[in-house]
């Protein structure tokens, strides 16, 4: 399959609390967003990467992209006020490219992989496995089994959620292009915190592929310290 990667990068990183977008925070000598791009750009199956960015960050992204050499084209689109809107903008671009290559007679089965630019540590083996599962079934996401005991607040106190079948959703979330485009087309405006939710609502089953819990999302400043520690461990 040939994979188009969508990276929502148009947030502001409020919880991270820095002056500029957290994606410009430096981890091991390069900005966070570039780690995410680098995990995908050398793969033979990735054809392009589409970053959804905010107007405010436009010039910084352009400068930083110009300073690196990428093995695949990196396209920029204007993101929206929510993550879903940012993904939708990038998806429109990916659809256009797919239509162009179809009319050129070069269409192969296109997968769309949606990956948070704020996840710098996804492993190649996990990408191999989730891409393969999506190629086979049309929809697959990385997910990590919940390790703690899960509680639900109730009106009288709490109860315990059976964690045996419980996972935390990670990214990338990978779909056949038709599956994700249909899900976004029928769900204009409804809230979702990930993309698989929209596909679940179309009743197309979404497969869970167990991924490494190292694939953390940088949300708070302390997450950057954890990511640094994981990178150092991988080197030793
Ligand atoms: N994102 C986006 N467009 C938005 C909001 C978020 O593209 N309107 C992106 C972020 O840039 C990030 C990913 O979605 O790469 C996951 O979002 P999150 O970790 O919540 O990042 P922020 O929204 O930037 O952070 P916060 O919620 O703390 O403000
Ligand atoms: Mg957010």
Find out whether the beta carbon of 54 lies less than 6 Å from any atom of ligand 1. Answer: no
Going from the C-alpha of 40 to that of each of 71, 99, 106, 114, 150, the distances in angstroms are 9, 23, 22, 11, 33
Structure tokens at 156: 């009288």
Which ligand is nearest the CA of 79, by number?
1
Per residue in 52-102, pLDDT (tens digit) is 999 999 999 999 999 999 999 999 999 999 999 999 999 999 999 998 888
How high is the ipTM of this complex? 0.99
Which ligand is nearest the CA of 16, by number?
1
* CA nearest to 175, candidates 124, 131, 129, 215: 131
Query: For residue 107, is pLDDT > 80?
Result: no
What is the whole-number distance in angstroms between the Cα of residue 198 and the centre of ligand 1?
A: 18
Determine which helix (DSSP H) or strand (DSSP E) holds 2, and give its type and residue range.
strand 2-8
Find out whether the beta carbon of 10 lies less than 6 Å from any atom of ligand 1. Answer: yes
């Amino acid at each position: 399959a040939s994979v188009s990667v969508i990276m929502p990068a148009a947030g502001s990183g409020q919880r991270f609390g820095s002056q500029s977008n957290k994606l410009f925070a430096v981890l091991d000598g390069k900005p966070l967003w570039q780690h995410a791009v680098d995990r995908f750009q050398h793969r033979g199956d990735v054809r392009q990467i589409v970053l959804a960015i905010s107007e405010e960050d436009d010039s910084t992204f352009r400068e930083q992209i110009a300073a690196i050499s990428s093995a695949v084209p990196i396209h920029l689109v204007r993101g929206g006020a929510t993550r879903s809107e940012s993904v939708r903008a990038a998806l429109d671009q990916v659809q256009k490219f797919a239509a162009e290559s179809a009319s050129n007679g070069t269409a192969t089965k296109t997968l769309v992989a949606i990956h948070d630019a704020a996840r710098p540590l996804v492993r190649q083996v996990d990408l191999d496995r989730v891409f393969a599962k999506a190629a086979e079934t049309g929809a697959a996401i990385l997910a990590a089994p919940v390790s703690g005991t899960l509680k639900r607040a109730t009106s009288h106190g709490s109860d315990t959620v059976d964690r045996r079948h419980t996972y935390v959703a990670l990214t990338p979330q990978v779909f056949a292009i038709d599956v994700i485009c249909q899900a976004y087309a029928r769900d204009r405006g409804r809230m979702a915190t990930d993309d698989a939710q929209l596909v679940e609502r179309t009743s197309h089953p979404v497969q869970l592929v167990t991924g490494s819990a190292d694939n953390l999302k940088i949300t708070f400043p302390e997450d950057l310290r954890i990511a640094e520690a994981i990178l150092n461990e991988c080197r030793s």
